[in-house]
Amino acid sequence: MPTNILRGDNVKPKGRRPLRVAGEVRQVVIRAGKVVIRARLLETVTAERIWQQLPIYSTAETWGQAVHFETPVETGRERTAKHNIKAGEIGYWTEDDRVIVGFGMTPISKAGEIRMPSPVNIWAMAMDDVTALASVRPGERVSVLAADS
């Protein structure tokens, strides 16, 4: 992935969301089918890019005990990207421009781990129990909205 994507040289934000204010805690609401998960954004390039693209509407797909969905966001892999995540960490899968939320074993997990298909950027932390996503079925509608929306 070209580094200009991480630097922002080719990013044209929608301009609908204000830039980050120092000390501000930003939150989103992720709705997938009937499940609602609140999440706190981290201070990362990926979180900023997702924030600038809100609202995001998509369709859920599942992969083992993970839900993922396509986004209009483009960004490169961050230095802190990781293959194994913890329940509650919300990732961005850079190769496919997708948000992915693991809540248990995926088809490539070993015992006791939540292994993503490739290293993902962690951009948010769930404030609610992500195991509720087990009820989400492929094809259900997904939205990511600013919590103040």
pLDDT in tens, 68-82: 999 999 999 999 999
Which residue, among 72, 80, 96, has the nearest Cα to 45 in the 3D structure? 80
| Whole-prediction pTM | 0.84
Q: Binning pLDDT at 50, 70 and 90, where does residue 148 land?
A: confident
For residue 59, pLDDT over 50 is answered with yes
Tell me which of 18 and 141 has the higher pLDDT. Answer: 141
**Band (5; pLDDT cuts 50, 70, 90):** very low
Confidence of residue 24 (pLDDT cuts 50, 70, 90): confident
